[in-house]
Chain A
């Protein structure tokens, strides 16, 4: 069974630009969650999508948005990039809601904002 895939793996952008990250969950998984990971801050929850509906949203500004398609693939978008957005962005998929089910993480997208 293929794991969670994320594209691209690395991105370099400049301040003010926007970026779209993609996540393909494990086949059959309906939930996709996104996390931002920075040194010393651990994993910070961005949002969770379940069956194309945003189930939960973390405490991030409106510049961070996401969506999920009918095939469960998910994208997240960050507009007007800031230096502080540099981080590893991880997505995780699970069969059911992330709160009660095992999450399988992808390798992440390393975003660098210059």
Chain B
């Protein structure tokens, strides 16, 4: 079942913070975050695994609440380069496939 992302779109000024949320109706084994700039391929940001393990970029911060089946991506002191569409992908078992949300479009203005 497709995870729900919120907000669908957000506009920020440089230096502002943003939080993107990802919710699932089923128990999660892992949550993946990717960013896609217009006309480009999605790029990996972070994986959060059940049990607390994380793999990702040092400058990216995210949380995974296993009980609530939610994940949040924290973007602090935003830069123009943060603009793009952010996708979360969820997976409900170690042998399952990733199901991505519809994306959150982030625009950072000068």
Contact = CB atoms under 8 A, between A and B. Distances in A.
A44 interface: yes
A45 B95 CA distance: 14
A104 interface: yes
Contact of B102 (A40, A45, A58): A40
Contacts of A56: 95-97
B97 A45 contact: yes
Nearest to A92: B42
Contact of A98 (B2, B98, B101): B98
B64 interface: no
A107 B49 CA distance: 27
A111 B41 CA distance: 15
A59 B101 CA distance: 15
A104 B44 contact: yes
Nearest to A41: B102
A80 to B, nearest CB: 24
Contact of A43 (B44, B55, B87, B96): B87
B97 A48 contact: yes
Contacts of A106: 41
Contacts of B30: 99-100
A86 B42 CA distance: 19
B44 A100 contact: no
B75 interface: no
Interface of A: 4, 33, 35, 40-45, 48, 55-58, 90, 92, 97-108
Interface of B: 2, 29-30, 32, 34, 40-44, 47, 49, 55, 87, 89, 91, 93-103
15 contacts: A35-B100, A40-B102, A44-B100, A45-B99, A56-B96, A90-B42, A97-B94, A97-B95, A99-B94, A99-B96, A100-B49, A102-B55, A105-B34, A105-B42, A107-B40
